[in-house]
Structure 1
Amino acid sequence: MRSYLQWAAIAAAVHSCAAQTYTSCNPLKKTCSADKGLAKYSLYSDFTSESGLDRWNTTSGTVTSTDLGAKFTIKEEGDAPTIESEFYFFFGYVEFKMRAANGTGIISTSVLESDDLDEIDWEQISTYDDEITTNYFGKGNTTSYDRATTVTVSSPEETFHTYAVNWTPSKTEWFVDGTLVRTLDYADAVDGTNYPQTPMRIRIGIWAGGDPDNSEGTIEWAGGETDYDDGPFTMYVEYVKVINYNPAESYRYTDKTGSYTSILASNTTSSSNSTIASSSSSIPSGTRAATATSSVVRSATASSGA
């Protein structure tokens, strides 16, 4: 395991260059269009079938469906194949089954990120072949780097494992193969200020943290310089399962606070809008956890504008 001092010394350079992290419009700075929501409670994308990629956009490189799942391959400098969900969800459960890529400095990632740069991460650094990293950010705040934790995983580059996040207004939980490995409470993220709490979309991909053109700090974090002659380097993702605790056709920021209470969930088919209140719900079957705090919809009519 690497120490906190190692993480803190180099994380600023790393987060700024991660291929999966960006926003096209930050609603904390200006008025943005509403986000397209996942209007149903659940979605299962089986990437062993070409149709499994139907709800996903390829934002970089080429991603193909194979018998092992979606195939993400780095062959040369500049490759960073990435897919992104065409929808957002607002609190929920996300599970994916992955075999990470091998090779020095190759980063296999799954990132949940909102327009205002709330973020929940899984990162597998190929150089360290017995662990995976969990991380989070609130509103893009990078003033401290004590958020990352590493979790021991058996042969993540040779064996498929399931990785999951249960994200609610009160806490976020990370699971490996159904076992709870980390919990973040709302209050522990600077009394909620840095707690991820706005509608997220999902980005999955790989990138070369060890690329020779990256900063020295990024290459160090990635465990060394990537030699592309040792490639290709391939990550497979068999499936993604999404449970959306607040299904809606769209989500809109009603102010610039970045608080979950300011998000308006709209459904034109049912002529209703919704804001969020706390309640309790079970984690989907298939995990070995019992129950967790979730969220429910407090409805109001569309005409009221509430």
Structure 2
Amino acid sequence: MQHHQFAWVALLFAAQTLAQTTTSCNPTLKTCPADAGLSSTTYTHDFTQGADDANWNMTASGVTYTSSGAEFTITKSGDAPTLQSKWHILFGRVSFHMRSAAGTGIVSSAILQSSDLDEVDWEWLGGNTKQVQTNYFGKGNTTSYDRAVWSPVTDPQTVTRNYTILWTSSATTWYIDGTLIRTLAYADALGGKNYPQTPMNVRIGSWSGGDPANDEGTIEWSGGETNYNDAPFTMYLEKVEVVNDTPASSYTYGDMSGSYESIEVDGKDGATDTKSSSGSSSSATPTSTASQTPSGSVTGAAMAASASAKIVQAQASGGQGRGVPGWTKAVLGSWIVCNLSWMI
């Protein structure tokens, strides 16, 4: 048994290494253009009032706007509707007021991600109505397997809830309706080496991991095969609230360290004002959208690949998740199925 466990870990390492590749220019490897910044301290948009094209790109079609908010709808094989902010923030708070999509094999995600592959995630599976997964990555490092945590949530598909990420240089915390469910300290992320700490944009999307054309591992990970006769499968985003602790017109990586201390904060006039600070102005507790029954305690941990990588792979392959070789996804899916109690 112990031999098999070590074998799973070795193969999972390969799977995650291949999956974590979603950036157009990695500033820890070469000089890259500056990242566009959110120049204001706060940003809020109510999607029930319509789109905000000045601040968001639709990187994959399928997002529509109604009185229910931004609707990310999957109706057929290949659909992977996604919005991505046109700006980055450097430490702060991001709240998603939303309902995840129902449907076996349907994956909903709300993500912060940087150019050097720092990442902070929320992720929901359409067949799991009792839990939400939180996860993080630092500089694309995939050498540990204790990052993904499943936490209890009540009625995520029928009740609009406030899912908040509070991100500072010392800790990242996740909240559901104002209830703290997880804390990641800087030192606990490989002594800070794996801690997300560079300018991140916001990405929201859904995709079908259970598409029948996918390999078995991807289908198993997402909870089973998707039956498109049951479509549409819709995730609803009502509102996004952002506090940017370090407003800027852009952020420039001062070196290749990937450290927040190296980030140059460029002002509205194009001048470089200062190096980044620790960021702490966003520390207020998030407000509730609805009453949350669970205590917020962590119920278990499981390995999972980058949420952003999975969305990008779905988009690039027509929603069929073929950005990673099939054997790696089969290993990943099989391991998770064997180790997640809610799926047994």
Name the TM-score class by shorter chain. 0.7 to 0.9
**Are the equivalent residues in 2 in contact too, given 1:198–1:259 (CA < 8 A)?**
yes
What's the secondary structure of 2:252's corresponding residue? strand
Name the counterpart of 1:111.
111
TM-aligned CA deviation for residue 184 of structure 1: 0.1
Name the counterpart of 1:167.
167
TM-aligned CA deviation for residue 228 of structure 1: 1.4
Name the counterpart of 2:335.
none
Provide Cα deviations, 1:186-207, integer angstroms capped at 9, x if missing partner.
0000000000000000000001
Name the counterpart of 1:212.
212
* Structure 1: runs of 5+ lacking an equivalent: 289-306
Tell me which amino acid in the other structure corresponds to 2:67.
D
Q: Label 1:17 to 1:181 Cα distance change in 2 as closer, same or farther (>3 A).
A: same
Provide Cα deviations, 1:22-68, integer angstroms capped at 9, x if missing partner.
21111111111001100000000111122444310000012111111
Tell me which amino acid in the other structure corresponds to 1:72.
F
Counterpart Cα distance in 2 of 1:46 and 1:245: 21
More displaced stretch, 205-214 vs 236-245: 205-214
Counterpart Cα distance in 2 of 1:12 and 1:213: 23
Matches within 5 A, 1:99-178: 99-178=99-178
Name the counterpart of 1:44.
44
Counterpart Cα distance in 2 of 1:88 and 1:282: 16
Residue 230 in structure 1 maps to residue 230 in structure 2 = yes
Counterpart Cα distance in 2 of 1:131 and 1:286: 20
**Are the equivalent residues in 2 in contact too, given 1:10–1:218 (CA < 8 A)?**
no
Counterpart Cα distance in 2 of 1:56 and 1:132: 25
Higher share of residues assigned helix = 2
Name the counterpart of 1:240.
240
Name the counterpart of 2:324.
none
What's the secondary structure of 1:197's corresponding residue? coil
What's the secondary structure of 1:283's corresponding residue? coil
Name the counterpart of 1:296.
none
Name the counterpart of 1:202.
202
Provide Cα deviations, 1:69-113, integer angstroms capped at 9, x if missing partner.
100000111100000000000001000111111110101100100
Q: Label 1:156 to 1:34 Cα distance change in 2 as closer, same or farther (>3 A).
A: same
Tell me which amino acid in the other structure corresponds to 2:48.
T
Counterpart Cα distance in 2 of 1:156 and 1:278: 33
**Are the equivalent residues in 2 in contact too, given 1:14–1:217 (CA < 8 A)?**
no
Q: Label 1:280 to 1:72 Cα distance change in 2 as closer, same or farther (>3 A).
A: closer
**Are the equivalent residues in 1 in contact too, given 2:131–2:152 (CA < 8 A)?**
yes
Tell me which amino acid in the other structure corresponds to 2:134.
T
Provide Cα deviations, 1:224-268, integer angstroms capped at 9, x if missing partner.
111112111000000100000000000000111100001000104
Residue 32 in structure 1 maps to residue 32 in structure 2 = yes
**Are the equivalent residues in 1 in contact too, given 2:28–2:256 (CA < 8 A)?**
yes
Counterpart Cα distance in 1 of 2:18 and 2:41: 33
Higher share of residues assigned strand = 1
**Are the equivalent residues in 1 in contact too, given 2:50–2:65 (CA < 8 A)?**
yes
TM-score, normalization: structure 1?
A: 0.86
TM-score, normalization: structure 2?
A: 0.77
Counterpart Cα distance in 1 of 2:187 and 2:170: 8
What's the secondary structure of 2:129's corresponding residue? coil
Number of residue equivalences: 281
Tell me which amino acid in the other structure corresponds to 2:62.
T
TM-aligned CA deviation for residue 151 of structure 1: 1.0
* Structure 2: runs of 5+ lacking an equivalent: 289-344
